[in-house]
Amino acid sequence: METRSAKRKRLLIEEMESGRDDQSACDRISDLPDAVLHQILFLLPIKCIAQTSVLSKRWRHIWSTFPDLDFTSTNLIDTSSSSSSMKNSHSHIHPNTCKRFHSHCVLGTDYITQVLALRSKQSHLRTLRFRGRLSFSRLNGLIRCAVRHNVQELDIDVATDDYFNFPRSIISCDSLRILKLRSRYPGFRLPPSSVLKGGFRSLHTLSLSLVILYHQSSLLDFFSDSSFPHLSKLSLEACSGLRHLNIHCKALKELVLEKCYQLICLEIFCKKLERLRVAGCFDAYSNKSSVKINAPYLWKIHWQYNSITDNSSIDTLTCLQEAFIGFFVIHEVVNKEKLWSVSNLLCAVSHAHSLVLENQCIEILSKNCNVSGVLQNPLNNLKSLEFHTGFNKSSIPGIACLFRNSPSLHTLTIKILNDYKTERRQWTRDLWDLSSSMEERYWESQIQLLKSFLHHLKVVKIHGFSECENEVSLAKFLLRHGKVLQEMTLCSGHCNSRDSLRREKVKSQMMGFSRASSNAKITYH
């Protein structure tokens, strides 16, 4: 029997001998190797890929061996596993099955089961992604089928009618490299730690969302080298009931921990960790919360909307490039233990080149910078600083503290929060002429302490600028004493016609003000 490649070669020779120039008679695309066609089809929606199976036997083979099945563009519904169109053959997919992709692209889980069942055993599955509402038994069946095809990446986003247990077939899957399991309400439970240990030997990326841990509140020994020797990316979101979490993975480079509100104790010992994001975590009502971090090569940390822990032990991050720090504070008064914890965190990020501080940080600095020395280490490497503030009078000491500790700052960005509770005095012509106002006197008293800061600052951006006394006083001070200032951008919000007139007056006053730097330009937005 003449093989397909031999036939193509014979037809090509006959065409050349006949001297024909009609290239349309030759199907160049179908002649490409399977791997190349798979790569081309990877750029198309799954609907279009399935429809190519009706073209010819060659394309049926391409579809049945396609390694990346992404059903996330369709609406998945739970249906019966029986299908009248399923065949007992493992060589191709029946063309009629492609009709299910028409219309609204609503698929039953039986279709995905059929697609997986009709693949040959030698056809390994590189990626399987799907989302929808289905039962745990159907979910477990789909996962077991994917495991039998040596799946390398599983990306699942499902909702169920009740809690379901973590599919155990995944644990011992040697081919699995990436696992993303996002559960909608009500969530899923993890198996006992004795079952989990010894699995996931080949996993590189793990992402779990909405895990129920009320009866397994501690994951002290789970995330260790013995269980995850190759894990480089880990994401845990909305782990209800999680109280204690230890992460000791030598290969881990990226860690995301979000919405773990009951967390009390967090320990991270990862020598290769580079990126860390912790947001919305820790029990705000606990008096025994703690965090320990040992990550010498960390270069990016995002610490947002977390309750202040009672104790923090964080090694100085000498390789840090970017830091975002914010807190969730339920009490106006922060006790000494929590202040010390904040101080340790700020000292740990003192080597950052770029720093963003949320409003609560400015308030803590303003209330305690002269009492307990919250910001102890100077930010000598800092080139870019952004902070959010209500910019009332009480926040000015904290802002000045930041400036004093940023001797080499290049770019300053201030985002003013328009809080209706914050009372700010509007700027008037009288205040402009009155150089001995309280704010003016305070900033002038800081000149010697801010000498290095004023000799390095080049770019200033103020968002939410509303021409109030505190804002104009600071802008005026920076213009007057910024030796190398090149650009000041003032971005204001919406205003009515009355405010607009006052704004134009303030603008004209500032534009005509003398500046320490002849290169300084003021821009309004």
What pLDDT digit, counting tens, does each position of 189-243 carry? 888 777 777 778 899 999 999 999 887 766 777 888 888 999 999 999 999 999 9
Domain count, the chain: 1
Give domain status of residue 160, yes or no.
no
> Rounded to an integer, what is the distance from CA 39 to the centroid of its chain?
28
- Compute the distance between CA of residue 28 and CA of residue 38 in angstroms, rounded to an integer: 15
Sites in the chain below the pLDDT cut of 50: 20, 80-105, 371-372, 434
Q: What is the pLDDT of residue 9?
A: 62
Burial class (CB in 10 A: 0-12, 13-18, 19+), 112: buried
Residue 95, preceding peptide bond in cis (omega within 30° of 0): no
- Compute the distance between CA of residue 482 and CA of residue 366 in angstroms, rounded to an integer: 23
Give domain status of residue 436, yes or no.
yes
Give domain status of residue 193, yes or no.
no
- Compute the distance between CA of residue 523 and CA of residue 87 in angstroms, rounded to an integer: 70
- Compute the distance between CA of residue 316 and CA of residue 351 in angstroms, rounded to an integer: 8
The Cα angle at residue 19 between residues 15 and 22, in degrees rounded to 5 = 65
β-pair type (106-108, 75-77): parallel
- Cα of first residue to Cα of last residue in the chain, in angstroms, is 76
Give domain status of residue 233, yes or no.
no
Helix (H, G, I), strand (E, B) or coil at 189: strand
Q: What is the pLDDT of residue 103?
A: 41
Q: What are the residues whose beta carbons fall under 8 Å from the beta carbon of 259, sequence distance 6 or more?
A: 237, 238, 239, 279, 280, 281
The DSSP letter of residue 251 is: T
Q: What is the pLDDT of residue 462?
A: 93
The DSSP letter of residue 116 is: H
Give domain status of residue 441, yes or no.
yes
Q: What are the residues whose beta carbons fall under 8 Å from the beta carbon of 79, sequence distance 6 or more?
A: 108, 109, 110
Give domain status of residue 454, yes or no.
yes
Q: What are the beta bridge partners of residue 234?
A: 206, 255
β-pair type (218-224, 244-248): parallel
- Decide: 223 and 197 in contact? Cβ < 8 Å: no
Give domain status of residue 42, yes or no.
no
The Cα-based distances of 451 to 27, 155, 351, 435, 481 in angstroms read 74, 54, 21, 20, 9
- Compute the distance between CA of residue 483 and CA of residue 283 in angstroms, rounded to an integer: 46
Which tokens sit at 73? Answer: 């563009």
Give domain status of residue 456, yes or no.
yes
- Compute the distance between CA of residue 310 and CA of residue 193 in angstroms, rounded to an integer: 29
Parent domain of 425: 362-525
Q: What are the residues whose beta carbons fall under 8 Å from the beta carbon of 210, sequence distance 6 or more?
A: 182, 183, 184, 185, 186, 187, 188, 237, 238, 240
Helix (H, G, I), strand (E, B) or coil at 441: helix
- Compute the distance between CA of residue 400 and CA of residue 102 in angstroms, rounded to an integer: 63
Using the Cα atoms of residue 120, residue 125, residue 131 and residue 137 in order, give the sign of their dihedral. Answer: positive
Helices (H), ranges, 265-352 = 336-348
- How many Cβ atoms from other residues are within 10 Å of residue 33's Cβ? 8
Residue 155's φ and ψ, nearest 5 degrees, are: -125, 105
The Cα-based distances of 426 to 13, 112, 337, 491, 511 in angstroms read 87, 64, 38, 17, 18
Q: What is the pLDDT of residue 197?
A: 73
